[in-house]
Each structure stands twice: as C-alpha cells, then as structure tokens.
Amino acid sequence: MTFSACGEHPEPPPVAAEPVVLHVATDGEFLAFTPTELTCPAGVRVRLVFKHDGQRIPQKHNWVLVLPGKTEDVEKAGAAAGEAANWLPGNRRNVLAATPLCSPGGEAIIEFTAPAPGDYPYICSTPGHAFEMHGVLHVTKS
C-alpha cells in the first residue's frame, strides 16, 4: 500500500490510461485512406476506428499495420490466404494489427499496443489495393 505525503490516507491505485483513439476511413469510392498519416506515442494502447465510407462499389476493405519493409510480403501472403482469411496471411509475424474486412458503410474497432518508435506502413490487404490504399503510422517516443 502506498501512502500520501502526510501518511494519513492511502493513495488510490493507479488508473489504467485510456487508449489513444485514432480514426481512419476509406475516401468514399476511391482506393485511398483518409488520413494517410496517423501519430501516437510508443507503448500506448491504441483504439483504431476504421470506417468504410464507400456506398456504391461493393468492394470490402481492411486496415492492416505492417512491419516496415514487409508490405509486399503481407500482400502476397494475404492474396494466397484468400478472402475467407480477410486477405491476411496465416502467419502474421509481419502484421502488427489488422481489422476484419468491412463492407461499404461498415466499421471495425480494434485495440493494440503501439510498437517502438518509428514509421509503420498501413495498407488495405485486399488484392491490388495496397498500391493506392496505404499510409503511415508515426510512432513517437513516449
């Protein structure tokens, strides 16, 4: 038990920090994310809210945070895994976080711990989409 400076009353236990909430969406019917850059401190709990803002084209999208330099590997392995696997590789060693596929108008919320400081690419892993649907999560020092 920890006591206050005067020693009379115990200090309340530390409260778990609320997650940093980040929002990203598809850019309507275009193969693009908005925004294309997100930022958070290293080691925090992140709650990512992904919204598929398309309405007319029935293509599904996801949001996948990838280790630097591994985007192409994730794309290829995801395409081989198929839509039933959310276009994600079975071995997710290069994937730091991912939403399920969302249909137009859909939304997905995921939570993950921000990695070490650096720049981490995010993509839509639906085959052929990552070329245009990509961005960067800038992770800063805490």
What CATH number should be reported for the domain holding residue 97? Answer: 2.60.40.420
- Is 117 inside a domain boundary? yes
- Is 97 inside a domain boundary? yes
List average pLDDT for each run of 10 residues in the chain, which is 142 residues long.
42 67 96 98 98 93 98 96 96 96 97 98 97 97 86
The token duo for 58 is: 């029935």
- Is 102 inside a domain boundary? yes
Residues 3 and 11: beta-carbon distance below 8 Å: yes
- Is 11 inside a domain boundary? no
Residues 50 and 35: beta-carbon distance below 8 Å: no
pTM for the predicted model, two decimal places: 0.87
Domain assignment of residue 58, given as a range = 20-140
- Is 67 inside a domain boundary? yes
- Is 6 inside a domain boundary? no
